[in-house]
Amino acid sequence: MTLIRPDLDTLPAYVPGRTVPGAIKLASNEVAEPPAQPVLDAIGRAAAGGNRYPDLGVVELTARIADLHGLAPERIAVGCGSVTLCQQLVQVTSPGPGSEVLFAWRSFEAYPIVTQIGGAAIRTVPLDAGHRHDLDAMAAAITERTRLVFVCSPNNPTGPVVRREEFLRFLAAVPRDVLVVLDEAYAEYVTDDDAVHGRPLLDEHPNLVVLRTFSKAYRMAGLRVGYALASEQVATALRKVAPPFGVNSLAQAGAIAALEHREEILAGCADVVRERERVAAELRGLGLAVPPSEANFVWLPLGGRSADFAAHCAGQKVIVRPFPPDGVRVTVSTPEENDRLLAAAAGFDAAGSDDGQPSS
Ligand SMILES: *Cc1c(COP(=O)(O)O)cnc(C)c1O
């Protein structure tokens, strides 16, 4: 016997990110602006009640979310960010060894971690040549051990969406006892008319779960609130395994205020979308094959040069997110911050091997 589960040895231990004084951070898909003023006001008021436990049932926020999506509150589970809900989803579907969790790769880096924590086996299907989900191959990879499938649209870190018609074909091919999770963390930035939207598909597909978050477009990543839309059966199970009092009272109050001021807050997404198209076009002009992104980041498929590019950018005080050996994810931010990224990228010799040195 060992004191600690030996299978945890293969999980990455947390390594604090390098902080570079004066650098701009384009590494985590956050929004540079602080939360909206009404959100800050609500947090301030809630802080005065910090001596009390938060509402365990997250009742008021759940009711607001239910209203927004036209669903019964029983079909909603609020979590400490949607990452925590991913972990709960593995917990409620996968009874340990012998269960498999399926997802595309490369996709959200939390999926393999929550799968391993849940004691299930990881099964991945490569993205296609366009950095998109290959849903037909994913459907074919489902076995009787598969308990859960994560589908990320737009896909973090590559950017493309899953199209509605291919997702419907996928749902039709998936057995009813396999849970399909559509992770829509970047839904507010999607402008493609053919993109899948999970909410309208929920009633027809009781094995579908839609994940949304306040971390990105609502500018509340530090407050930790996300939610799942699901069948009552699945949402009830998610609430059962939730960390007790996990969604704290500041987060609950902030998210309620954010929904009250939703339209003003989400108006900022249009600026990001405009900047996304500009940044992608300029990077393509530098010879980089940037796939079409529907999120607040773009993907630079730099392969073996990914770490070099990130180091080069850090030298220019621009922090980006390398995923060697595949590419680099860059968050789309304000025009000024994006210009600094573009200037750094223009000074990088993507084909060369001597970063920062003029090629001879
Ligand atoms: C950022 C992100 C989330 C959100 O995580 P939170 O825990 O809600 O902050 C979820 N899924 C994906 C794919 C993401 O990129």
Whether 276 and 256 share a structural domain: no
Last residue within a domain, chosen from 262, 294, 317: 262
Give, for ligand 1, the residue of 211, 213, 296 to mutate: max count of ligand atoms closer than 8 Å to Cβ. 213
Q: How far is the CA of 2 from the centre of ligand 1 (A)?
A: 33
Question: Does 55 have pLDDT greater than 60?
Answer: yes
The position carrying tokens 């997250």 is 58
Most ligand 1 atoms within 8 A of CB, residue of 87, 88, 108 to mutate: 108
Amino acid at 313: C
Instruction: Report the domain count for the chain.
Output: 2
Is 1 contained in some domain? no
Q: Is the pLDDT of residue 49 over 90?
A: yes
Alpha carbon of 360 to ligand 1 centroid (Å): 43
* pTM confidence score: 0.96
Q: What is the pLDDT of residue 335?
A: 98
With 70 as the cut, is the pLDDT of residue 360 above it?
no
Query: How far does the centroid of ligand 1 lie from the alpha carbon of residue 185, in Å?
Result: 5
**pLDDT band of 354, cuts 50, 70, 90:** very low
CATH number, domain containing residue 284:
3.90.1150.10
Residues of the domain holding 193: 37-262
CB 205 within 8 A of CB 175: no
- 127 and 20 belong to one structural domain: no
Ligand 1: atom nearest CA of 157 is 15
Residues 225 and 105 in one domain: yes
pLDDT in tens, 157-187: 999 999 999 999 999 999 999 999 999 999 9
Give me ligand 1 centre to Cα 209, in Å.
15
- How confident is the prediction for the chain on average, in pLDDT? 95
Say if residue 277 is in the same domain as residue 344: yes
Q: In this structure, are 212 and 304 located in the same domain?
A: no
Pocket of ligand 1 (CB under 6 A): 29, 81-83, 108, 152, 156, 183, 185, 213, 215-216, 221, 226
Euclidean distance between CA atoms 87 and 97, whole angstroms: 16
Residue-by-residue DSSP string for 148-171? EEEEESSPTTT-PPPBHHHHHHHH
User: Which run of H or of E encompasses 76?
Assistant: strand 76-79
114: pLDDT strictly greater than 60: yes
Q: Which residue has the tokens 């037909």?
A: 136
Contact 78, 58 (CB under 8 A): yes
DSSP string, 176-214: TTSEEEEE-TTGGG---TTB--SGGGTTT-TTEEEEEES
Q: What are phi and psi of 281, to 5 degrees?
A: -65, -45
Q: Is residue 5 part of a domain?
A: no
Region 138-148: mean pLDDT is 98
